[in-house]
Amino acid sequence: MAIDSDRGAGLAERRFQAVIFDMDGTLIDSTPAVLRAWTTWALQQDVPAEALNGFHGVPSAGVVAAVLPADRQAAGLELINRLELTDTEGIVPLPGATGALAELPPDRIAIATSCTAPLAAARLAASGLVAPKVLVTVDDVERGKPAPDPYLKAAELLGFDPTSCLVVEDAPKGLQSAHAAGAATLAVVTTSPRDELLADLVVPDLSAVDWLINDDLTISVGRR
């Protein structure tokens, strides 16, 4: 396993009880669909496109609350939910995603996403990926990313302490969530600049990750 940093070397020495994946930008490429939906939404809501910068990984409700006045937020959230749910064209698995979900023990993996449950199901179906048994959406938690709730909930449902889990993310806000939960972090450079990804190990995408299942079913990780 080739490791490119001291933090990454420390990660390779650890044995994790479970791996929790973000979804959009980590397992699936939904960027074109996301951009289409939010561009349409911004035009209809008279919101400057640049006002939406920096929100990747944040639940739609949080974005809407940040850019619309309170009296328009309910309608604005209903609109973006409808736009995203009806546009899944072109959503595909990212490199290494299919292999990772197939290689890892099914009872030791989860997805924690900022999507609603219907949107997560629609995007996974469009990509052809099969969701693991544990799928935590924004509907399952009081606070979405960057709060720790999604990763704490996923670890709880898996039956493991979050500090024994590895979180795989592509977004700074998602990494903040993982760090707040106490998890180790692996970042993929698929949607954000590398220098914004403060993780224990950073790789181009999941095809660069070497997964090792130990005899006790714990998981070790390194860079190919």
Q: Is residue 25 part of a domain?
A: yes
Element containing residue 192 per DSSP (H, E): none
Per DSSP bridges, beta strands 209-213 and 184-188 are unpaired
Query: Do 74 and 131 share a domain, yes or no?
Result: no
Query: Do 42 and 127 share a domain, yes or no?
Result: no
CA–CA separation, 55 and 114 (whole Å) = 11
Can you give the pLDDT at residue 7?
Answer: 58
Q: Is residue 59 part of a domain?
A: yes
Dihedral (CA of 162, 134, 111, 58) sign: negative
CA–CA separation, 176 and 188 (whole Å) = 15
End position of a domain, from candidates 85, 105, 129: 85
Query: Do 99 and 15 share a domain, yes or no?
Result: yes
CA–CA separation, 21 and 166 (whole Å) = 8
End position of a domain, from candidates 40, 60, 85: 85
Query: Do 115 and 50 share a domain, yes or no?
Result: no
Query: Do 49 and 153 share a domain, yes or no?
Result: no
Catalytic residues: 22, 24
Closest alpha carbon to 20 in 171, 217, 185:
185
Query: What are the residue ranges in the chain where pLDDT is below 70?
Result: 1-9
Can you give the pLDDT at residue 1?
Answer: 36
Q: Domain containing 119 — which CATH number? A: 3.40.50.1000
Q: What is the longest distance spanned by two Cα atoms in the chain? A: 56
Query: Do 98 and 76 share a domain, yes or no?
Result: no
Which amino acid belongs to residue 144?
A: G
- Global pTM value: 0.88
Closest alpha carbon to 202 in 160, 165, 168, 166:
168
Query: Do 52 and 112 share a domain, yes or no?
Result: no
Q: Is residue 1 part of a domain?
A: no
Backbone angles phi, psi at 119, to 5 degrees: -70, -40
Query: Do 127 and 147 share a domain, yes or no?
Result: yes
Query: Do 97 and 208 share a domain, yes or no?
Result: yes
Q: Tokens representing 131?
A: 């969701």
Can you give the pLDDT at residue 54?
Answer: 80
The domain in which residue 204 lies consists of 6-30+90-223
Q: Is residue 54 part of a domain?
A: yes
Query: Do 105 and 60 share a domain, yes or no?
Result: no
Query: Do 138 and 42 share a domain, yes or no?
Result: no
Work out how many domains the chain is built from and give that number: 2
Query: Do 109 and 202 share a domain, yes or no?
Result: yes
